[in-house]
């Protein structure tokens, strides 16, 4: 049975952009593995049938008016969670690469941290990346590990649990830039005094069979990863936890 943090409600947040082939199966799998948890799909301006497929699968859908990227979609999801009284949020990708049966392991670690990363490179994660993309991930992990004062091996993983201390912070300040949703969000949280840890998580192939990253993009990823880290380190944030409004198109629906 899935684990709820003491005295807290858990929301599964699934950011989705044009994921019609995957989203129905992903939602069905989440609801089967975690029947007592609520599922919110944040549709990031999709132009296909993502919204209809998510509703049909039984998820609550929050529609954004245009494409904001994963960071913008997650910030909207965090604000939704905060306003509706959830204490914890877990990000799960729409493409089926994250196994929802591993969510309880992330939730269990919230006893000792404010953010728990499902790490693909930790021990038995089984995820392998080579070339510039791997180099970038190693550098990012080393730098952020020093900030966190603990070993983190996969700081770009989108499979995460966010606890009650970090949720209000992310509802207001979660970054929308490329890789900011993973890299800069950790820097913001750490500078605000949040604790970050990780657990092993296995990465699966996309449920529609498409590769999540193509070799031609590896060099671009390396450049952007370095820029994202630099931006995160030089920025200064005034931490506040009161959420601001978020625009929605068509509101929340089932």
Q: Where residue 174 sits, what CATH number does that domain have? A: 3.90.550.10
Query: Is there a domain that residue 192 lies in?
Result: yes
* Domain range enclosing 106: 10-243
Query: Is there a domain that residue 2 lies in?
Result: no
Strands 252-253 and 60-63: antiparallel
Q: Write the pLDDT tens digit of every residue in 207-246.
A: 654 554 555 455 555 566 666 666 666 665 555 444 434 4
Query: Is there a domain that residue 3 lies in?
Result: no
Query: Is there a domain that residue 169 lies in?
Result: yes
Count of the separate structural domains present in the chain: 1
Residue 181 is encoded by which pair of tokens? 């949703």
Q: Are 232 and 184 in contact (CB under 8 A)?
A: yes
Across 109-130, average pLDDT = 77
Work out the mean pLDDT of the chain and round it to a whole number. 83
What pLDDT sits at residue 139? 82
Query: Is there a domain that residue 254 lies in?
Result: no
N residues, the chain: 254
DSSP state of 5: P
CA distances from 133 to 47, 203, 213, 215 (A): 29, 16, 10, 9
What pLDDT sits at residue 136? 73
Strand partners, 197: 116
Across 161-174, average pLDDT = 96
66 burial via Cβ count (<10 Å: 0-12, 13-18, 19+): exposed
Residue 97 is encoded by which pair of tokens? 């690469």
Q: Write the pLDDT tens digit of every residue in 49-65.
A: 999 999 999 999 999 99
56 burial via Cβ count (<10 Å: 0-12, 13-18, 19+): middle
Query: Is there a domain that residue 251 lies in?
Result: no
Residue 216 phi/psi, 5-degree rounding, is -65, -20
Across 23-33, average pLDDT = 98
Query: Is there a domain that residue 252 lies in?
Result: no
Query: Is there a domain that residue 193 lies in?
Result: yes
């Amino acid at each position: 049975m899935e684990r709820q943090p003491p005295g807290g409600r858990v929301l599964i947040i699934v950011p989705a952009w044009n994921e019609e082939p995957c989203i129905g199966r992903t939602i069905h799998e989440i609801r089967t593995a975690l029947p007592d948890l609520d599922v919110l799909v944040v549709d990031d301006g999709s132009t296909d049938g993502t919204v209809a497929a998510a509703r049909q699968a039984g998820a609550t859908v929050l529609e954004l008016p245009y494409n904001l990227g994963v960071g913008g979609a997650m910030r909207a999801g965090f604000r939704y969670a905060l306003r509706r009284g959830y204490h914890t949020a877990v990000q799960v990708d729409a493409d089926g690469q994250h196994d929802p049966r591993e969510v309880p392991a992330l939730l269990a670690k919230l006893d000792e941290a404010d953010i728990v990363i499902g790490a693909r490179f930790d021990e038995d994660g089984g995820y392998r990346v080579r070339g510039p993309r791997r180099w970038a991930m190693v550098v990012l992990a080393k730098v952020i590990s020093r900030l966190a004062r603990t070993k983190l091996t996969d700081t770009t993983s989108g499979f995460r649990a966010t606890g009650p201390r970090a949720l209000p912070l992310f509802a207001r300040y979660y970054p929308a830039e490329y890789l900011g949703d993973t890299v800069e969000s950790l820097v913001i949280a750490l500078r605000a005094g949040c604790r970050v840890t990780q657990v092993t998580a296995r990465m699966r192939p996309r449920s529609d069979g498409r590769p999540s990253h193509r070799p031609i993009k590896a060099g671009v990823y390396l450049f952007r990863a370095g820029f994202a880290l630099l931006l995160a380190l030089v920025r200064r944030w005034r931490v506040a936890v009161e959420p601001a409004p978020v625009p929605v198109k068509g509101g929340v629906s089932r």
